[in-house]
Structure 1
């Protein structure tokens, strides 16, 4: 039987008015505020006095949750973003340090033996155009590093990209790049420059992994860009530095046979820079 209701909202005699017992927060009187739970644990259950389920009230965060929440910061007032970890491998576009080094800075008063004609030919930078290499061989203190830096500075002033790196540090950085899975990016940085200078090669015997990395570097740069390598050892001794003689012969066959070998001999220049006691004053 359908319930009948008067136009003024009151139920007619003989008809029961619908129940108004509903859940808190859905049906309320106009003068009563809406009840909201303090936290999710205190949220009321769905009422059963209304044919439709009550709409759940939005729970407020508990005081403990407010303490754990990070404070809001306006985007324009935030500090700088945290810097991401970068590899220590230098960029190939970075110019050589000490670009003011020239051949005139070399002390020619020292008793060294060097082919000056061949050296002047190298400073014309024709070897860069032909993708050839330069090997500076000699004992310690004869100026191999200074000449390599002067060649690199001359190439930089001629708009060539140059990277100067100690050989042991380069191989160590490639090993670290393998550990953090950034080897490909680090390896490409050493392939990019027109001239890669490896200083003090041959100070230590290479491991198997270092031998493979150096072999791959020589193979990829051969006939594409140039090397300058300084070493205290003769080229014939380089094969024994590799862990694998097959890799050594293959790499050195490309490096040495396509390189200008400049041998420097003489006493160490650092002996002239050693401090000496002051001369004694004459006795009167």
Structure 2
């Protein structure tokens, strides 16, 4: 299988996670905990069998991997929590503000000048977020909080922080990096897990739980990391849209969700901003 096919498949599987997570009947923390365990086991097996030479491991990059793991796990918890309050279409659309936030946060962290185009992109995406979140339907701030908008936006923010921190990890094997990150997740979430949630799960629930952990995390990250170094930034920028496309398609077809006119406008504004941000990152990485 070519690198492009592997990456496209990983994006398609990523896109279906919202639908499958709803079938697990587990809250966000417990689902992410199981996901971390499954991914850690699967990727550890892959890593052990794929090693052909001893790798040099830098302590600094281990530290960045741990920090990145903290951001990643919080991102996962917020992302799954957003599914508990809003449709997959709305949650995924807001979640994909991440590339815009990466550009904005990167400008401040690396002391780059924030251009008028960047500010315009952020404002347009912010308006898109309010529209897709149905801001016009909420009469108070409490209504907005209970609707799940902060969870989806928080997931996007922590995904952006994960991306920026991940840029500091240059030499460490990507699969080993993810093993470290999911191990951090297990340690972080273990004291927070409520074990009584597992008492009344059905066989079907466990099927979707293991599917989400093994396929949507372990297998997907294997596809993702094995293909990423072989693809250009332009190819990645195009293929990454498979993720939200599959998520929205499944939400509309399988759950009969129908976004209203303003939400459709909001989705288009957010994806326009994502495209613009992805192109800016590509140009900056290529030195143009």
Q: TM-score range by the shorter chain?
A: under 0.3
Which has the larger share of helix?
2
Higher RCO (C-alpha under 8 Å, 6+ residues apart): 2
Q: Rg bigger for which structure?
A: 1
Which has the larger share of strand?
1
